[in-house]
């Protein structure tokens, strides 16, 4: 398996503040970042944490979301007079 390290365009290193010095790659569901200007390295798990799973209780699901009724969008054409 070939690991491709790519520069992140526009990314600023949180340690040295240099732009376009960060390389990123993914290995075993971990996203790594590395700065070529200093020794900064960072890793972040790409797998979702288990507590994100929604509980099975759906008691309030029959109640309509009030935001659905505030969808008043002004679509009037400013040129139409």
Residues of the shown chain interacting with Zn ion in the complex, contacts defined by CB under 5 A: 13, 15-16, 35, 37-38, 40
Nearer to Zn ion (CB atom), residue 21 or residue 59? 21
Nearer to Zn ion (CB atom), residue 26 or residue 37? 37
CB 42 to Zn ion: min, Å: 10
Q: Give the DSSP letter string of 2-62.
A: PPPPEE-TT-B-TTT--BT-EEEEEETTEEEEEESSS--EEEEE-SPPGGGSPPS--GGGG
CB 59 to Zn ion: min, Å: 50
Nearer to Zn ion (CB atom), residue 26 or residue 34? 34
Which residues sit opposite 31 in a β-bridge? 26, 44
């Amino acid at each position: 398996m070939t690991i491709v390290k790519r520069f992140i365009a526009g990314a600023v290193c949180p340690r040295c503040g240099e732009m376009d010095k960060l390389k990123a790659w993914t290995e075993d569901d971990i996203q790594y970042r590395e700065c070529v200007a200093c020794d900064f390295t960072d890793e972040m798990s790409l797998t979702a944490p288990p507590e994100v799973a929604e509980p099975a209780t759906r008691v309030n699901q029959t109640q309509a979301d009030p935001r659905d009724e505030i969808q008043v969008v002004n679509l009037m054409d400013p040129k139409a007079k």
